Structure 1
């Protein structure tokens, strides 16, 4: 058996091969992160053996740069272990007396780590789970970007037309009717110049007749006495229209992404959606971040992976009396669990009773939600391990 360690880089990778006795047979072979570079690696490996089954391969999960090489080696039937960089750092500290680090040394260390087998794989999802992770993280990015645009739109309205939110609330500003009128009339002067009837028609079309003349007259009344700024108004209105258009585009992208997630979730038939507070989007996030529930031998490990376990501070005789959440692990999983906990603490009888009990003990709302999220980890671990629907127990 040969052990191949690969240090991953953005443009080039470094590979080292070690035999079962720990002798380095190939040290720091550099190859480009390209198809030609990957084939140059396999050509080097063929000088040791023409059988891919004679190799165990290890590489670090460094950013996203390892994915293409992993895909290539997997197609060539090499067995690849993907290792968390934290584990290789720990191995380096345990084996290196001098503190040294470079691509060649790291590739040798990875090969040695694979040879000893004292590591845990970074679990790789199947294609459905991998797709879900990509889509849920992309949706999270889109939602965050849309939130940024909303804050900037409100900031501009506060300067140009501060009275606008007396007609449309902060939430209503981003409804279809409001966005439609702001795309056409972006300053008090423009609202003053249009008739109530024309403005009402724009509102009716955008809201399917739910909003009309009354709202139009309220907008014109607010515009007639607006205390918004007058200078550089064209620059502000241009920004406002542009951001409204971009927000609408982002919201359409979010909708399309959610449709893709729905289709994948429908194909899984997962029991995770039987838990109150966990719908398709939250469920997809939790499943895709966990990947495989069987890599967590007990619920405590899932809690730790989500980063909602308590950190412990102790030194000598000192031990902290107030421990905070560790926040290590997947931030996407942690956020999804908190969102689910907020809803479950209201709608699931068992979790609501637990929430109420902790609140009566004087615990802060967010502290209790964190405790509910930890309980959810135990529930998720149980139902996914057994593949049985959740049943609330009083």
Structure 2
């Protein structure tokens, strides 16, 4: 957890919402100079902070609508701090809670050097990262429809299973397998939506690939040099990381990617592990997928993995492999080196 410890004349805490925001500006002595509820309007915000622009820092708790205020502060040359919502809740939780109190608490934490920071993802790649996340969301929705078709087969205990229906040519006999007209209609609807998803996802992937080749083609190529990391995993890792230099150490990176668990200790005693849900879920998914695909058709890796499984069990062995891949990716991107299978398995 990193805290913002910069010293300024004025500290602005904002309790931000989609249409409203509550501003609280403190001076270096902690006196309230401004405490106001206002619309999320750029010009109104700049007018409100104008008397304090000489040496001002702005802090916002991380929520879905922070993009515009971060971009505005960057353009205006105002230092901006994005607070980590989970850690801030642990620090400033109290009995009473409203927008006015929250904005004041954010300003006080900012002044006292107690704002736990989240990464302010740069505007240049942010929209593409969100587009990639949207693509992955649509893939999961498509998978739900495919699962519904298979579950309907099981509900009616059909003589033959549908098998794999991921490809269009594998779905030819689905509707005709059922007798009830309502079930037939349900299957037709599922198949039409899946067909729409197929077309949309293909278009999305082409668009994102073009953007990746213009944003950072070297890192994208390096990621694909890893056995088991294809174009989708590579794109996910590329855009979730953005710049590997933002992680000072490999431990920071694998922790962010949810590839390690942290021990809970007190008075020399261990109370188990925790923190597995803190970090980037998208990177966790990408490295988990890469670990499974790394073993497919890879005989040297399978032999190495079998030894690991005998020692730790399959589940933990896969976690160790995902962690090892995460470490490899960190040093590959940092040193601009391609993946070396021999070095990885030794």
Shorter-chain TM-score bucket reads: 0.7 to 0.9
Shift in Å, 1:16: 0.9
Shift in Å, 1:284: 1.7
Answering whether residue 122 of structure 2 is matched by residue 126 of structure 1, we say yes
Task: Check whether the contact 1:57–1:78 (CA below 8 A) recurs between aligned residues.
Answer: yes
Mind listing any 5+ residue stretches in structure 2 that lack a counterpart? Answer: 1-8
Answering whether residue 253 of structure 2 is matched by residue 305 of structure 1, we say no
Separation in 2 of the partners of 1:144 and 1:248?
14
Answering whether residue 102 of structure 2 is matched by residue 110 of structure 1, we say no
Output the TM-score relative to the length of structure 1: 0.75
Separation in 1 of the partners of 2:82 and 2:48?
21
Shift in Å, 1:59: 0.7
Shift in Å, 1:286: 1.6
**1:329 aligns with one of 259, 276, 279:** 279
Q: Structure 1 158/262 Cα, relative in aligned 2: closer, same or farther at 3 Å?
A: same
Q: Structure 1 298/142 Cα, relative in aligned 2: closer, same or farther at 3 Å?
A: same
Answering whether residue 61 of structure 2 is matched by residue 60 of structure 1, we say yes
What corresponds to 1:48 in structure 2? Answer: 52
Answering whether residue 80 of structure 2 is matched by residue 80 of structure 1, we say yes
Q: Deviations over 1:184-231 (max 9, x none)?
A: xx335xxxxxxxxxxxxxxxxxxxxxxxxxxxxxxxxxxxxxxx6x5x
Separation in 2 of the partners of 1:178 and 1:389?
37
Mind listing any 5+ residue stretches in structure 1 that lack a counterpart? Answer: 189-227
| RMSD, matched Cα | 2.8
What corresponds to 1:390 in structure 2? Answer: 339
Answering whether residue 180 of structure 2 is matched by residue 179 of structure 1, we say no
Task: Check whether the contact 1:285–1:332 (CA below 8 A) recurs between aligned residues.
Answer: yes
Answering whether residue 233 of structure 2 is matched by residue 282 of structure 1, we say yes
Secondary structure of the structure 2 residue equivalent to 1:265:
helix
Separation in 1 of the partners of 2:31 and 2:297?
61
What corresponds to 1:255 in structure 2? Answer: 202
What corresponds to 2:322 in structure 1? Answer: 373
Output the TM-score relative to the length of structure 2: 0.84
Larger Rg: 1
Secondary structure of the structure 1 residue equivalent to 2:293:
helix
Task: Check whether the contact 1:16–1:25 (CA below 8 A) recurs between aligned residues.
Answer: yes
Shift in Å, 1:315: 6.0
Shift in Å, 1:174: 4.2
Q: Structure 1 89/277 Cα, relative in aligned 2: closer, same or farther at 3 Å?
A: same
Separation in 2 of the partners of 1:334 and 1:243?
30
Task: Check whether the contact 2:71–2:123 (CA below 8 A) recurs between aligned residues.
Answer: no
Task: Check whether the contact 2:264–2:274 (CA below 8 A) recurs between aligned residues.
Answer: no
Q: How many residues align?
A: 331
Separation in 1 of the partners of 2:232 and 2:339?
18
Q: Structure 1 2/351 Cα, relative in aligned 2: closer, same or farther at 3 Å?
A: farther
